Amino acid sequence: MHPSHSKIESKMRIEEAMRITAPGSALRHALDMIIAGHMGALICVGDEEHVLQAGNDGFPLNISFTSNRLFELSKMDGAIVIDSALTQILRANYHLNPDPSLPTSETGMRHRTAARMSLLTKAMVISVSERRQVVNVFIDGRGHTLKTVAELMGSVNQLVLAMQSTRQTLDRKLMRLTTLELENQVTLADLTEVFYLFEVLTTAGEELDKIILQLGSEGRTVQMQHEEFLGDLDDEYTLMIRDYAADSSEENAAAIRRALDDTANSLVHKSSNIAHLLGYSDLHEDSVMKALGLRTLSSVSVVREGMADKILDEYGSLKELIDDMEENPERLEEAGVSNPLILADSLYRMRGKHS
């Protein structure tokens, strides 16, 4: 398998593991009962064929999965084997014998077995430490500690404060950017600062997504906060990229977004890197950047969805539109704008003038 495909598959499996062990799930309810009972456990979920090949003995059950049954069966030694759909408990008190040569940095026997089983199979393997009262979920040999709701909410509060501050700064910078666009005074340095803030906020949003996944049913309020900070961000970011990229197509903008995603935020803060990603090789910080105008036009109420592209196909750029608007307002009607005077007035007001 291609390394990148393997990485994506592993990420998806980790996300699925976090989802089915999140608060509110039947599996998490069982794990909480095991912890509360000061017990340990070793649980294999999925890839049951290969899991059963790596062990012996135990009790064949093939009974319906419930939280209470899993809790009761955890009182016995050995592993519990559950199908991938979490509908059947297949074995209890099952003795797992993974290859001892499989590498692991885990210390306790239960954790070592869990890590090696997750390397040997595609199962999600859960190890509950009786002594430390900690739950670790193993995927591809790597352990992921399940955090309590209180621990997760502590991280949420820090992230939300940072996102709130970043969003306020970004909104101010975007308002300033609009004014500079209408005056044709945007520099590469101005753009770089806005790109950096977009990426910082996007990165924080991705971290919050991970926590929301781990919060399960306890994450609804946090999801609302996520929407508050990022709900309208995606389209605006893409439009800004199209405004300044050498190739303004949607496909190229999507490619640039992916490249920005793969670039460390500290590198996004460098103007030369932004110029390169946008498709330019001979720019410096003070270079004046000509805006296409999609983002600014799309923010005007009379510009319906998809109309900004048509207007700019007619005029070429926001600067040409502004220059021509006073001399030839009828041209806006020809471009499909039903209320050209409102559009003109909106742009004048953005620039700090009145028509």
**Based on the domain organization, do 192 and 301 belong to the same domain?**
no
**Based on the domain organization, do 238 and 272 belong to the same domain?**
yes
CATH number at 179 reads 1.20.1260.110
What span, in angstroms and rounded, lies between the C-alpha atoms of 14 and 8?
Answer: 10
Residue from 194, 218, 185 nearest 274 by CA: 194
Q: Looking at the domain assignment, is residue 289 inside a domain?
A: no
CATH number at 139 reads 3.40.1700.10
Number of separate domains in the chain: 3
Q: Looking at the domain assignment, is residue 16 inside a domain?
A: yes
The whole domain housing 230 covers: 150-278
Phi-psi region of 36 (alpha: psi -120 to 50; beta: other; left: phi over 0): alpha
Please, what is the Cα angle at 265 between 261 and 270, to 5 degrees? 110
Task: Say what the pLDDT of residue 3 is.
Answer: 46
**Based on the domain organization, do 27 and 142 belong to the same domain?**
yes
At which residue do the structure tokens 């590469």 appear? 188
**Based on the domain organization, do 168 and 243 belong to the same domain?**
yes
**Based on the domain organization, do 155 and 141 belong to the same domain?**
no
**Based on the domain organization, do 7 and 139 belong to the same domain?**
yes
Domain boundary among 146, 173, 192: 146
**Based on the domain organization, do 161 and 108 belong to the same domain?**
no
Task: Say what the pLDDT of residue 2 is.
Answer: 45
What are 125-156's pLDDT values in tens digits? 999 988 888 999 999 999 999 999 999 999 99
Q: Looking at the domain assignment, is residue 299 inside a domain?
A: yes
**Based on the domain organization, do 226 and 179 belong to the same domain?**
yes
Domain boundary among 146, 174, 209: 146
Residue from 198, 170, 193, 201 nearest 269 by CA: 193
Domain boundary among 100, 117, 146: 146
What are 174-233's pLDDT values in tens digits? 999 988 988 889 999 999 999 999 999 999 999 999 999 999 989 989 988 888 888 778
**Based on the domain organization, do 58 and 124 belong to the same domain?**
yes
**Based on the domain organization, do 327 and 259 belong to the same domain?**
no
For the whole model, what pTM was predicted? 0.80
Q: Looking at the domain assignment, is residue 283 inside a domain?
A: no
Is the pLDDT assigned to residue 348 strictly greater than 90? no
**Based on the domain organization, do 227 and 324 belong to the same domain?**
no
Under the banding of pLDDT at 50, 70 and 90, the label for residue 240 is very high
Under the banding of pLDDT at 50, 70 and 90, the label for residue 352 is low
**Based on the domain organization, do 82 and 184 belong to the same domain?**
no
